[in-house]
Structures are given as C-alpha cells and as structure tokens.
Amino acid sequence: MCGIVGYIGHRKAAPLILGCLRAHEYRGYDSAGIATAHDGKITVKKGVGKIAEVDAKYDLEDMEGHAGIGHTRWATHGAPSRANAHPITDCTGRLAIVHNGVIENYAEIKKELARRGHKFKSETDTEVAAHLIEEYLKNGLEFEAAVGKAVARFRGNYGFAVLKAGEDKLVLARNGSPLVIGFGRNEVFAASDVPALLRHTREFAFMEDGDLAVIDAKGARFMHDGRPVRRRRMHVSWTADMAQKDCYPHFTIKEIEEQAASIPAALRVDVGRAAKLVRAAKRIHVLGCGTSYHAGLVFKHLLARAAGRECEVFVASEYGESAVMKPGTLVIAVSQSGETIDTMMAVRHARLHRAKVLAITNVVGSSLSRGADANVYINAGPEVGVVATKTFTSQVAVLTKLALAVAGRKVAVNGFAKKVKDVLALSGKMKEIAHALRNTDDFFFIGRSLSAPVAMEGALKLKEIAYVHAEAYSAGELKHGPLSLIAEGIPVIVIAPAAGETHHKLLGNIRECKARGGKIMALSDSSRLLDEGKWKVPMPPVSEELSPLLYTIPLQFLAYYSCLERGFDPDKPRNLAKSVTVE
C-alpha cells in the first residue's frame, strides 16, 4: 500500500533510497520516484511502472543531495501516471512530499486551496498536503509546525515524509499508516516498514499514531499533540540476508520452500501465557483478513474439537458491524504484517469495548503488537512475496499449539519436520498438474471440517497470483447450490486427510462431483480417496490436527506454477500489495 523511504546523512541520498525502495516494492509497484534536496533546491525524478522501469528511464541514482525521500505507489486516488506518482511538490517546487494512506477530506481542502490560487498538477489526495504545508509556511510557520498544522486538518490514514529545500531535516507524520525510523552512524532513515532498511540498520524506533517526527543526520525527535515524547529504540533480530531471493527465481517459491524450517520453528513457539488468557476469557473473538482469517477458521475448529471451547471468527473489516461486545471478551488478532488497517480498526473497536487483545503476528514492533495486551510471534522471518505462504502455515502452527495448550495438550511433533519435507518434495508433481491445467479457468476446492479453511486458502492463492477463478466450499455445501456449476472437465480439488472423521462423507461429495463430469484432484493419505482422483497427490499420514500444515503446501505450489504457466509475476500480483493499510 505504498512504500515510503526517507534518508538524511553523510552519504548521497538517491542511491540509498533507491536500494531501500527496491526492498520495499512489495508495498506497491505502479509508479515510483525520488526527491532530493541539494544547494537550496529540490530535484524530483518519477515515473510510471515498477522501480526498475522508472530507474531505467530516469536514472534515479543520478541525483545530488544528502537528504531525500522516495516512494513506490499502489494507486488509490488517481490512476498510475507520472503526474500522480510521488514525490508530489507544492507550487513553489521547494517542498516535496510522499504519502501512504488516504486523506478522506481532501476534496474540501483542495477547493479551499484552489480558491487561494494554488495550482494542482495531479489527481492525488496527497497534493493537498503539499499545498497546505506551503500555505502555512507562507503564513510564517516553521517547517515542522507547518506540517503539524496541516496534518491536524486531515481525516483518514496517513504516513507522510516531507522534504523542504534549505532544511537539514525531514519531517514525518503518522496516523494509521506505519512509519519506522532506522538509526545508522551519522545518518537516519525512515521507511514504511523494517525490511526496507535492514541493509543499513537493525536499530529502530516506531512512530505511534498522531506522532510527528523530525529527523536529521544525528537522530530523531518525536512530538505528540504538540509535546515532545520519547519513542523507545529497539534492536530487531531480522537480517537483510533473510529478505534476499538467494538462488530462487521468486520470493514466493523461496518462502514456500522455507516452510521446511518455518513450520517446525513455529511449533516451538511458547504459547503458555496466551493459553492462560484464552482459558480465562469468557468469550473469544478471532479477527483477521484474507489468509490470516483462514488461519483463524482453522483455530476455531481446533479449539472446539480439542478444548470444547467456542470462538467466533470475524473478517476484520466486518467486526465493528457484526460483533456483539460483552465484558470478558478476548480478541485474538491474527495478522502477518501487524499493520493491516482493517485489523487495526477492528482492534480499536474491541478496545473501546474493553476487550483484551492477544496479537498473533510475524513482525516485532508492528503497530498491532505494540498495542496488544499480549503477543505471540510466529517467527517466520520476513515474508516478501505478496502472497502469504510460510506465514500462513506458521500462524496455523502457533494457533494449533495454542488450541491444544488450552486443552492441556501438546502437539505431537515427532517426525513432523520430515513430513513437511516429504510434502515439499511434491513440487515437481504440482508443476506437472499446473501444466496440465494451464488452460483451465474455473476451479473448485473442497474439504470438510479443518480442511474447509485449507480449501479456502488454496482457492485464494490461485486467484491471487494465477488470476484464475476459484471457489472454495465446505464439501457438504456443494449440493446446496454450487453443484450446478460442476460440469464436464471442471477440476475439483479435494483436501482429504484420512484421519478426518468426515472422510466417508467426503467420498459421497466426490462422487456427486464426478457424476456431473467434475475432474477430481485428490490430496490424501488414503488410497481409497486417492483412487477417486484423475490427479492423485499422495500425502504422508498425519493427525487431523496437523493436517492443515501439510495439505496447504501442494496448493501453494499449484498456485505458484499456475501463475508461471500463465506468464505472470508471482511476487507482484496485479492490483495487490503486501501490507494493506487503507480501508
């Protein structure tokens, strides 16, 4: 959802900013640009396309100056175009700004500024910020006071970095859209998230909503409601190498393969305190979006089955409208990034109703983790591919451990790491199947009980990176409507671990599909179920509790290879971004 980078220090800003933007590209990639300050002037270079395309056209490294800002965009207001690309400047050209988020009341401010003679060059909401700051500077305010006064007028979510000619500092503002500050030696960086800066530092401070920060080569000052505040510095354990592609062609396949280590690591995470919170709670609400929502659904099944406890799972963006809030509620907020605005808003709603919040996230220092009563980190390491792969299985691993811990049980992990490796060895088989299905445009995914959310996750992956229509159903639901769509040749992917109490019913559902011409792809450790498949994906035997961890992996391969078969880039699916910080 747009990546922001800022730099001020002893080195040339543009090449550094460019490197950080490349590491930030998963946040948006429809246009990019950099502005630097030098010799009392601002220079801006920007254009449409991925960063490499913009760089090839405009040579982004070739800019003078030791202070600058950069941006990679995921368009909200105004189509991807050179004019709408950031940095955006004011009328004087002496001020440049980059923005992540949405200024909801920009239209009224734009009218007011236009009446005062400001000339707008873009369709972005961001441009009102540039002109409003310009207006306050004209009225005699200092740089940071002008930024503070401008952002005080905005409704919505924003992260801003502002550069002004002739100033040895950058001013940053945050409300809802993340901004982190990284500290080097005689140089200070800013970015939308930690991985963008790992090449240069592992020392970070995290801005809070409502903060203004001023950075110069020596450090950072923070203000909140006009008063100075302290923001603790943290050392992060992630390294830059963890966020490299290494010898893999894409982050997506690297991260799928990394599950050999990330699943066992997540199964070692301590969930003791979290289990106590769950046991003590009168009621449990689980919140998440997309893949994280699916992890929540797996948890719901497990908690009911293992611990006899009920919980409700909400798509986070619907929580405020649909949850009945009662005292004693524990909210379990699941979010890989810990920055998803829908999840953050749902948590805010829960907090207003005095719910306790347990965050399950991957990113230490993320907004969600900082605002929670308790945290469990899934320890998956940085995930760069826009599709969630290893972080989904790590979420599920941690939530499985949690559900069993609530019941006073432990996960039986003996030999499980070997099974993960055996499933990863199915890569070639899934590649062949993806090739066979390269011209197919409709897929169905079905499963029962714990496998129903796995089916949903498989369908989401395929839609997200292969741009193929895919539906997921709890298998028993097919006959209540969607069965009418099963016609000759439609692939039906069946998640069928033999350990499930429901697999005999699943057999019935498979037959219903076959009778209508559906072509079955069976994922199972039962030869009886595999025999039903035109495509057979033999799985190692596994307890039903741990089956989602294994059965997700072939579906990730299927999506990855289907994406390649269709000629798309799996790391950067169209219209999407890794961290969704707009509602």
Nearer to ligand M6R, 526 or 579 (CB): 579
Q: Is residue 192 a contact residue for ligand M6R (CB under 6 A)? A: no
Which residue type, as a one-letter code, is found at position 404?
L
CB of 448 to ligand M6R, least distance (A): 23
Q: Is residue 317 a contact residue for ligand M6R (CB under 6 A)? A: no
Q: Is residue 291 a contact residue for ligand M6R (CB under 6 A)? A: yes
2 given a catalytic annotation: yes
Which parts of 452-561 are beta strand (E)?
469-474, 491-496, 519-524, 535-538
User: Within 10 Å of residue 366's Cβ, how many Cβ atoms?
Assistant: 27
Of residues 329-358, those binding ligand M6R (CB under 6 A) = 335-337, 340, 343
User: Within 10 Å of residue 82's Cβ, how many Cβ atoms?
Assistant: 14
Of residues 488-527, those binding ligand M6R (CB under 6 A) = none
428 CB-near residues (< 8 Å, 6+ apart): none
Among 50-58, 125-133, 255-263, 380-388, the segment contacting ligand M6R (CB under 6 A): 380-388
Of residues 439-478, those binding ligand M6R (CB under 6 A) = 460, 464
397: left (phi over 0), alpha (psi -120 to 50) or beta: alpha
CB of 551 to ligand M6R, least distance (A): 16
User: Within 10 Å of residue 575's Cβ, how many Cβ atoms?
Assistant: 9
CB of 362 to ligand M6R, least distance (A): 8
CB of 492 to ligand M6R, least distance (A): 22
**Residue 28 C-alpha from the chain's centroid:** 11
Among 72-80, 283-291, 419-427, 443-451, the segment contacting ligand M6R (CB under 6 A): 283-291
- The CA-based angle 226-228-232, given to 5 degrees, is 135
Among 63-71, 128-136, 166-174, 288-296, the segment contacting ligand M6R (CB under 6 A): 288-296
User: Within 10 Å of residue 55's Cβ, how many Cβ atoms?
Assistant: 20
Nearer to ligand M6R, 171 or 346 (CB): 346
578 given a catalytic annotation: yes
Q: Measure the N-to-C terminal CA separation of the chain; round to a whole number of Å.
A: 11
75 CB-near residues (< 8 Å, 6+ apart): 28, 30, 31, 84
Q: Is residue 252 a contact residue for ligand M6R (CB under 6 A)? A: no
Q: Is residue 100 a contact residue for ligand M6R (CB under 6 A)? A: no
Nearer to ligand M6R, 292 or 502 (CB): 292
| Of 34, 151, 284, 289, the one binding ligand M6R by CB under 6 A | 289
CB of 14 to ligand M6R, least distance (A): 30
Q: Among 395, 296, 312, which residue's Cα sits nearest to residue 355?
A: 312
Report the largest interatomic distance among the alpha carbons of the chain, rounded to a whole angstrom.
79
Cα separation, 18 vs 54, whole angstroms: 11
Q: Is residue 387 a contact residue for ligand M6R (CB under 6 A)? A: yes
* 80 prior amide bond cis, ω within 30: no
Nearer to ligand M6R, 7 or 377 (CB): 377
Q: Among 198, 203, 200, which residue's Cα sits nearest to residue 242?
A: 198
| Of 358, 406, 426, 580, the one binding ligand M6R by CB under 6 A | 580
| Of 6, 68, 290, 453, the one binding ligand M6R by CB under 6 A | 290
Nearer to ligand M6R, 62 or 318 (CB): 318
Q: Is residue 137 a contact residue for ligand M6R (CB under 6 A)? A: no
Cα separation, 235 vs 225, whole angstroms: 27
Q: Closest-CB residue for ligand M6R?
A: 290
Q: Mind telling me the catalytic residues?
A: 2, 578
Residues that bind ligand M6R (CB under 6 A): 289-292, 335-337, 340, 343, 386-388, 460, 464, 580
